[in-house]
Amino acid sequence: MSKKTSVKNTVKTQPSVAETAVDLSFKDNRLLPLLFGERDRYLQRIENNLHVVIQARGNRVSVSGAPDSVAIAEVVLQKMYDRLEQGQVVSVGEIDASMRLAKPDKNGKAEVSHGGLSISTRRRVITPRSEGQIQYIRLLQKHDLTFGLGPAGTGKTYLATAMAISQLLAGNVERIIISRPAVEAGEKLGFLPGDMREKVDPYLRPLYDAIFDMLPADQVERRLENGEIEVAPLAFMRGRTLSHAYVILDEAQNTTVEQMKMFLTRLGDDSRMIVTGDTTQVDLPRGVKSGLIDAIETLEGVDGIAICRLQASDVMRHPLVSRIVRAYDK
């Protein structure tokens, strides 16, 4: 059971009608370097994003600025301190997510809401970091077939993988199958060194990275060996029926129409399927229609199928990535 936060808030001053200030005090001084970040970079990030002024002295922090911004900064600092007390890490991503999801109320307080959603894996508890991700997780929980669309960095593959692992750990499925089309971009597979697995591994490496982020390495290796987790090129799915499984097709914009139909019709009993991709990043030869685009056009509105469209505002990478996506969209 987590301890009650030791942050105490009191209104300190009200410099003007448009500004307010609060004082926060923290009980455990040992956690403050982790809360503030190296050279106070976490405090500076909150200052820059919310346009507030933060002053730290000892175990006390003063925040001043516009009332709504101060309320958000206050609740973000509280949430991050709570995470540290519970043995969890604080990162730029967590701080940005808390600022993004914090909502001030009419009483001058703010609350960070993840929609009551979380995904538990062996190595971490994953919570949504944007409104779009909240919607995405809800759709993943409810539907047997979900399409997750959006630009790079929106978490569409990472969250799908987390959901798959949580379902495997809970015993709701017997195996996880994650696949990608091996689209050749400049190099022919036959020219690459090694056997077939070594040839296709570069295409599948991002999927392995997500899995290792959620399970200890020894468990990943054991589950890969016994078939509980399978990562394979799309071509290996032909002719199979995928039952009692959580199935993910990543980079689906690079499937042909025929490949997409083949994959979708593999869905077997007691299985769930997630198809992720970015329709603006198609690497197929000119004149070949993307199977993902065709599937969305064909299947939108079909009962039991959900489509989640994540936006540039859901990008969780460097802030420049969101601006780059928006620039290209124009």
- Count Cβ neighbours within 10 Å for each residue of 27-53 and write b for 16 or more, e otherwise: eeeebeeebbbeeeebbebbbebbebe
Residue-level pLDDT at 203: 64
pLDDT surpassing 70 at residue 93: yes
Residue-level pLDDT at 2: 39
Residue-level pLDDT at 269: 93
Domain 119-329, classified CATH 3.40.1350.10, yes or no: no
pLDDT digits over 173-186, tens only? 999 999 988 764 43
Helix (H, G, I), strand (E, B) or coil at 247: strand
- CATH class label, 8-112: alpha beta
Percent of the chain topping pLDDT 90 = 56
Residues in a beta bridge with 307 = 147
**Domain boundary assignment for the chain:** 8-112, 119-329
pTM surpassing 0.75? yes
Residue-level pLDDT at 11: 42
200 C-beta neighbours (distance < 10 Å), count: 20
pLDDT surpassing 80 at residue 27: yes
Percent of the chain topping pLDDT 70 = 87
